[in-house]
Structure 1
Amino acid sequence: MAKPEILVVAGVIEKQGRYLLTQRFEHASQGGLWEFPGGKVESGETDAQALERELQEELAIETTTGQFLADSVFDYGDKVIHLKGYLTHWVSGELVLHSHQDAKWVGCDEITGYALCPADYPIVDALKHLIYQ
């Protein structure tokens, strides 16, 4: 039987030159790892609509979706995740962690110092290429 492929969007949220990483709950899939926050694209949604909805639900913040950075397809064993990362801009709100155990604002050069979900690494590479080109 084929594994389900899930389309997920992630926001590389920039605020004052730093980027938001969130840490997954220990009991969740990929527990304890860090990621760019986001979530599943629901039927009928554009990537931007899904990302802005997910960031509101998970973090209680308003954002605008900007430039596409990269995508990656990663087989996690029980499912295949197609992750699309977008540069995302903070608009308003105070961060509230509904779906994560921790969050950190980090410089671009600090991101790889965190244990990231495997699917996030191509997005980090694209961000570095964009910033340091």
Structure 2
Amino acid sequence: MTAKQDKAKLDKPKSVILVVAGVIVKQGRYLLTQRFEHASQGGLWEFPGGKVEAGETDEQALERELQEELAIETTTGQFLADSVFDYGDKVIHLKGYLSHWVSGELVLHSHQDARWVGRDEINGYTLCPADYPIVDALKRLPNN
């Protein structure tokens, strides 16, 4: 690549990808999932979710993604927080929602591990950077 091509690449604005995440609560514990090692942010923990597709509401996207990734049915509750984070190769606008487990047995289609943790245990995991504002919002909620 020439210096001119390098500069053009740097000057090009990155597209922002809208992603939703579910802070899934079940019996007072929250689900954290671990990204595959070979994926972007590999090995880090996150609140599961995915991209919002054209024509979907955040709630529709979140419930679809959790069904596809984890084989569970949830209902989307209260908005918690959002963050915009530049991961270098892409910019993510992450919106976190409290999600309530309805049914299903957890199957990991898109993650290498999953853990149900108490709110006070979340800090023991290294999360994707965009997830930390959601953790902060969760900690401000009254116990649920």
Q: Structure 1: where are the runs of 5+ without partners?
A: none
C-alpha distance in 2 between matches for 1:29 and 1:76? 9
Q: 1:17 aligned to 2:28?
A: yes
Query: What is the aligned length?
Result: 132
C-alpha distance in 2 between matches for 1:99 and 1:66? 23
Q: 1:8 aligned to 2:19?
A: yes
Q: SS of the residue aligned with 1:90?
A: strand
Superposed displacement of residue 4, structure 1: 1.5
Amino acid of the residue matched to residue 117 of structure 1? C
Superposed displacement of residue 131, structure 1: 2.8
C-alpha distance in 1 between matches for 2:112 and 2:30? 17
Q: Structure 2: where are the runs of 5+ without partners?
A: 1-11
Q: Pairwise CA RMSD of aligned residues?
A: 0.6
Of 22, 46, 52, which residue of structure 2 is paired with 1:35?
46
Q: SS of the residue aligned with 2:130?
A: helix
**Counterpart residue number, 2:139:** 128
Percent identical among aligned pairs is 89
Q: SS of the residue aligned with 1:69?
A: strand
Superposed displacement of residue 112, structure 1: 1.1
Q: 1:67 aligned to 2:67?
A: no
Q: Give the TM-score, by structure 2 length.
A: 0.91
